[in-house]
Structure 1
Amino acid sequence: MATYVLVHGGSHGGWCYQRVARRLRSAGHDVYAPTLTGVGERAHLLGPDIDLDAHITDVVQVLRYEDLDDVILVGHSYGGMVITGVADRALDRVGHLVYLDAATPANGQSLADLAPELMAASRASARVIDGVELVNFPGEGPMPHYGLTDPDDIAWLAPKITPHPWKCFAQPLRLENEASLRGIPQSQIVCTSTLPHRDPADLEPARTAGRLWDIDTGHDLMITEPEAVADLLRQVAAV
């Protein structure tokens, strides 16, 4: 039995992993899918202090208060920023990192640095509400439906999307234990369409270890291909 902590991307919540989590739990694994502060069902906690550090702390606290060890930590999209920071701060609790079509940052990089064109397009429609600069409103931005094409999937996704604080995307990640962090085994599960646009160096550790996989689907692959994603996550646990 393995323990998975599934971290969502921008404007989503733990809800986006329902289909994957169901499959992993049915195989006997423990699964946690926390929602980051200020989005999803925790949107009512949105405030001007919500940034990348706050989201890293959200997940670190889950690991500590649930007494989780040897965790397979999975991050989708912006969640790659979060899980990298979590592993840096909780090295003794993380056994494997899985980047799910996700950002793979180095020390000092922000998501805006890693995906400048996409983030610029997101910020172009920013609005300030209650003192918080928000982007990626439902149905807006460069990926209004996050790669979903099935009408039923879109109908399920659309009412759950919440705008995301821009501060999270602009804040550089600060690592204190980068050398040790890079020693944690990692896997990459990416969308086939994004492979040509990725830095080969970011993928090399997973490729060398035989844990680089691609799925021909849209960005929200945990929604469109939950069986394939769950199967690959089970393979990670079996290594």
Structure 2
Amino acid sequence: MTVFIMVAGVFTGAHVWQETAARLAAAGSEAHAVPLTGVDAGRPAASARIGLETHIADVVAAIDAALDREIVLVGHDYGIHPVLGAADRRPQRVARVVYLDCGMPQNGVPALATVPDQALRAQLAERSQRGDCEGELAPPSRDEWQRWGSTAGVSEAALDRLTALAAPQPLGTLLQPLRLTGSAVAVPTTGVLCTRNGVSVDLVQRLVDFGDPTLAALTGPQATFFELPTGHWPMLSCPAGLADALLRAAAGEGHRLRPTGAQPAHLRPFPMDVPELPRERRGPTDLYVPDAEGPRPAVVFVHGGPVPAGSRPAPRDWPTLVGYARLAAAEGMIGVTLDHRLHDIADYERAAADVTAAVELVRADPRVDADRVALWFFSGSGLLTADWLTKPPLWLRCLAASYPILAPLPNWGLTGSRFHPARAITHAGTLPIVLLRAGREAPQIAATVEAFTTAAENCGADLELIDVPNGHHGFETLDAPEETRPALHHAIRSVATHLTS
């Protein structure tokens, strides 16, 4: 018999697992939700010093109580930290670790690193540096749960109950580093991803393809994945679906990622024939200059992300970016690619500064008509359009975007930041905007595009939509060339028209 030992996330106790546990039991398994010291009503704190190690001890005790049966550890949100700590102490007892809509904690890194609210994360980090690690973090009010993850699918009654039973989170559990010896590295794993919270199997595959070394193990035969089309609390929004995924995970089922040796999508050839112009490297930028007289208008292509630091080849050398730049040169414009430092969702501030600096470098080039520049954004860099939409400079003649993310995803902790194009569009005035929209976009990204287009329509923005009806996110290298070429040709001509009119 399989025994599921489940550990809840911040502010939530064993009560959140009630319906999921009942379904697991009905299927013939045992299910135990671990009461965490200082969080659950039934596990009061013996002292004020409650840290991550306290909760690891709680999980180890649950493992020891399960005798010799097969154990599957399930960690949701913060709960993955004590789960991994316990698996490290009892590796021979654990048959599988399930990561339920959470990150991949690393040795020596506290759970604070996974707190989605970036402003709060910074405040707590400063407090930790001062050595002030005692006390509690107050739970969110009913309207504040979205700061911790998408509540999509959670009923009003369930949200009321979640709020009523929420408990303060001991700060030491977030600030104390996770200590792992590596003894559990061979334990099989399963990731259960909640797509309406912004994470999907496709996104994880892309990150693996970028060469992030921390994700390399996810391509092994003992790592599987499931998706649930819901928000961050599937035990409340779809307990039956979650129970089914857990049972299948225990049986070794699930999607497996493509090995890193296969050619990743972002390195496949560009779908259009473009001139083989050489690049001219100027610091963080590459220029592709057409054979034409006089200063020329320029198009600056801003790659998406986050892209892991050290990813090789660097984004400005990807076939898609090089292809776009050469396509612009074929239309008589100077095509520009650049590398910026969007390596993590916390990096938007410095990525924005990198793009601004690169644009100024390009405008200072004597071959560039400094008064005729377009910016073209991709995927995750779509949030960077907000600054240019809020106060468009006169020299910015057009803003284009391909399959962009146009509002922060629920688990990014950027809701209150300035990087919110769906809000910034109301300030764009007469700036022409060319948007390439993928018909088969991931639902969580498509929702941000819909919010943007609705806001653009309401404020009368100059928005041109170019649809790729059967296109996926990253359609240039994922989809058949005949599906994408018409849209690319249309888009580059529209941008050229705005730059030369």
TM-score higher than 0.5 here?
A: yes
Task: Give 1:123 shift.
Answer: 7.6
* Equivalent in 153, 157, 165 of residue 162 of structure 2: 157
Q: Letter of the 1:11 partner, please give it.
A: F
Unmatched segments (≥5 aa) in structure 1: 126-130
- Alignment of 1:169 with 2:174, yes or no, is yes
Task: Give 1:231 shift.
Answer: 0.5
Mapped partners of 1:191, 1:203: distance in 2: 18
Q: Partner of 2:102: helix, strand, or coil?
A: coil
Q: Letter of the 2:173 partner, please give it.
A: C
Mapped partners of 1:27, 1:203: distance in 2: 33
1:105 maps to which residue?
105
**Count of residues in correspondence between the two structures:** 232
Task: Give 1:3 shift.
Answer: 1.0
Distance 1:95 1:172, change over 3 A: same
Larger radius of gyration: 2
Q: Deviations over 1:166-221 (max 9, x none)?
A: 11111111112x1x311100000011133278764555545554621222211111
Task: Give 1:112 shift.
Answer: 1.6
TM-score by length of 1: 0.85
Summarize the alignment of residues 1-239 of structure 1 with structure 2, pairs less than 5 Å apart: 1-42=1-42, 44-45=44-45, 47-115=47-115, 118=117, 120-121=119-120, 132-139=134-141, 143=146, 146-148=149-151, 149-176=154-181, 178=182, 180-192=183-195, 193-195=197-199, 200=208, 201=212, 205-206=217-218, 208-209=220-221, 211-239=224-252
Is residue 63–residue 93 contact of structure 1 (8 Å, CA) maintained in 2?
Answer: yes
1:128 maps to which residue?
none
Q: Partner of 2:41: helix, strand, or coil?
A: helix
Is residue 188–residue 203 contact of structure 1 (8 Å, CA) maintained in 2?
Answer: no
Is residue 8–residue 79 contact of structure 1 (8 Å, CA) maintained in 2?
Answer: yes
Unmatched segments (≥5 aa) in structure 2: 125-132, 253-501
- Stretches of 4+ aligned residues off by more than 6 angstroms: none
Tell me whether 189-198 or 88-97 shows the greater mean CA deviation. Answer: 189-198
Distance 1:182 1:208, change over 3 A: same
Task: Give 1:46 shift.
Answer: 6.5
RCO higher in structure (CA 8 A, sep ≥6): 1
Is residue 52–residue 167 contact of structure 1 (8 Å, CA) maintained in 2?
Answer: yes
Q: Letter of the 1:147 partner, please give it.
A: S
- Please, what is the CA RMSD of the aligned residues? 2.7
TM-score by length of 2: 0.43
Tell me whether 135-144 or 224-233 shows the greater mean CA deviation. Answer: 135-144
Distance 1:144 1:120, change over 3 A: closer
